Amino acid sequence: QKEVEQDPGPLSVPEGAIVSLNCTYSNSAFQYFMWYRQYSRKGPELLMYTYSSGNKEDGRFTAQVDKSSKYISLFIRDSQPSDSATYLCGGGSYIPTFGRGTSLIVHP
């Protein structure tokens, strides 16, 4: 079992939709969690990271962590075609472990 599980998708939504991306993790020692966005043939870029359970908001993005159920979520409000990318979740206590990434397609 991988430490961080993530459905690869693709997830296809219409422009303006609320997107929910999810990951589960198995290691209860994880202390921090992160979300990255990766466009095709580019390096990942950090969207958000957090140390605690609860919600963290940044513009249209909200990261949610539930340590009791080992569940990580990223919500994207008012999704745009430019949000079409692969989204990587990760977590760790020292060196992070990443999920496989979820491919998101936002169509006009």
Partner 1 sequence: DGGITQSPKYLFRKEGQNVTLSCEQNLNHDAMYWYRQDPGQGLRLIYYSQIVNDFQKGDIAEGYSVSREKKESFPLTVTSAQKNPTAFYLCASTRGGLDYGYTFGSGTRLTVV
**Residue 54 neighbours by CB distance under 10 Å:** 10
* Smaller CB separation from partner 1, 99 or 106: 99
- Helix/strand/coil for 83: helix
Phi, psi of 2 (to 5 degrees): -70, 150
The window from 11-19, 34-42, 53-61, 69-77 that contacts partner 1 (CB under 8 A) reads 34-42
Taking the least distance from each CB to partner 1, the nearer of 50 and 73 is 50
Strands 11-14 and 102-107: parallel
What is the binding site for partner 1 (CB under 8 A)? Answer: 4, 6, 8, 32, 34, 36, 41-46, 49, 88, 90, 92, 95-96, 98-101
